[in-house]
Amino acid sequence: MTKSHIKDEIEIELKNVNKWYDDFHVLRDINLQVRKGERIVICGPSGSGKSTMIRCLNRLEAHQEGDITIEGTPLTNDVRNIDAIRKDVGMVFQHFNLFPHLTVLDNCCLAPQWVKKQPRKEAEATAMKFLDRVKIPDQALKYPGQLSGGQQQRVAIARSLCMNPNIMLFDEPTSALDPEMIKEVLDVMVELADEGMTMLCVTHEMGFAKRVADRVIFMDAGEIIEENNPHDFFDNPQSERTQLFLSQILHN
């Protein structure tokens, strides 16, 4: 399984990661290595811990046991490490989470200006470049509330890209969208994948998984049950739980 876009360096490494919410064991002994340029799709039933796992990667949630290393930096309570990692890891949320009081352009410029201390001109130029990439440069001066869901999610992607991240995390980016808007967002993500971005994406869009994923990971009850290339994962699932899950989502 050697594809040209996957480099040798390991960008993300999880070793025996465990996490609890009070007594509830939400992540159990997670082990995962992601190489530079690799595209990973994570799926699994609701409540299986998919969101929790990728939110641990930029410390929106803290894990309690095990080691998470991002681009060689260990994720600990050390704020400097967290800041360094967040600069390099972009995240796209299910509900977009754009800042409603700022225009699309200001949404995109905010972090580059304040976190990377870029001058406004430069930040604007970068923002326009990425808004162009997600095909909505003409909406730059509007407020998020004036855009459709699909447009908002594309802005959210552009906003993350403006920080020039090496890794992008997506948490069900299309599941809050109306069907006719899903494609416009997936198209942007496919393009991003083709450019060689390291991506971890929680999604149940199986077409997308088949098209771009190098590996599909199936989680259930806080564990990684199965991981495989998309071809074998869909055509020849090994575990019973995977088979059950696949039959359920294919029925819908």
Partner 1 sequence: MLEPIHSPPFTKHPVKWAQINLFSNWFNSLVTLLVLYALVTYVPGILDWIFFSADWSGQTKADCSGEGACWVFIDARMNQFLYGFYPDDEQWRVNLAFILLLALVIPLFIEKVPRKGWLIAFLLIGYPIIATWLFQGNIFGLSQVDTEQWGGLMLTLVIATVGIIASLPIGIILALGRRSEMPIIRWICVTFIEVMRGIPLITILFMASVMLPLFMPEGVSFDKLVRAMIGITLFQSAYMAEVIRGGLQAIPKGQYEAADALGLNYFQKMFLVILPQALKLVIPGIVNTFIALFKDTSLILIIGLFELSGIMKAALNDPEWLGFATEGYLFAALIYWMFCFSMSRYSQHIEQKLNTGHR
Ligand X SMILES: Nc1ncnc2c1ncn2[C@@H]1O[C@H](COP(=O)(O)OP(=O)(O)OP(=O)(O)O)[C@@H](O)[C@H]1O
- Sorted by sequence, the CB contacts under 8 Å of residue 76 that are 6+ apart come out as none
Least Å distance, CB 160 to partner 1, is 8
Task: Answer yes or no whether residue 97 interacts with partner 1 by CB under 8 A.
Answer: yes
Site residues for partner 1, 145-174, by CB under 8 A, read 145-146, 159-160, 163
Find the part of the chain contacting ligand X (CB under 6 A) among 40-48, 96-104, 181-189, 191-199. Answer: 40-48
Site residues for partner 1, 205-244, by CB under 8 A, read none
Closest CB to partner 1 among 36 and 159?
A: 159
Closest CB to ligand X among 130 and 218?
A: 218
- Sorted by sequence, the CB contacts under 8 Å of residue 173 that are 6+ apart come out as 92, 93, 94, 153, 156, 157, 185, 189, 201, 203
Selection from 56, 79, 51 nearest residue 67 by Cα: 56
Closest CB to ligand X among 21 and 114?
A: 21
Least Å distance, CB 49 to Mg ion, is 9
CB 6 within 8 A of CB 37: yes
Least Å distance, CB 8 to partner 1, is 27
HSE-CB at 40 with a 13 A cutoff on CA atoms is: 25
Selection from 86, 77, 133, 136 nearest residue 111 by Cα: 86
Q: Tell me how many residues contact ligand X (CB under 6 A).
A: 11
> Which positions lie near Mg ion, rule CB under 5 A?
51
* Angle at 13 (CA atoms; ends 10, 16), nearest 5 degrees: 150
H-helix or E-strand containing 152?
A: helix 149-161
Taking the C-alpha atoms of residue 95 and residue 110, their distance in angstroms, rounded to an integer, is 19
Q: Tell me how many residues contact partner 1 (CB under 8 A).
A: 27
Closest CB to partner 1 among 17 and 162?
A: 162
Least Å distance, CB 104 to ligand X, is 27
Taking the C-alpha atoms of residue 67 and residue 99, their distance in angstroms, rounded to an integer, is 32
> Given the rule CB under 6 A, which residues bind ligand X?
21, 24, 26, 44, 46-52
> Given the rule CB under 8 A, which residues bind partner 1?
58-60, 83, 86-87, 89-91, 93, 95, 97-101, 110-111, 114-115, 143-146, 159-160, 163
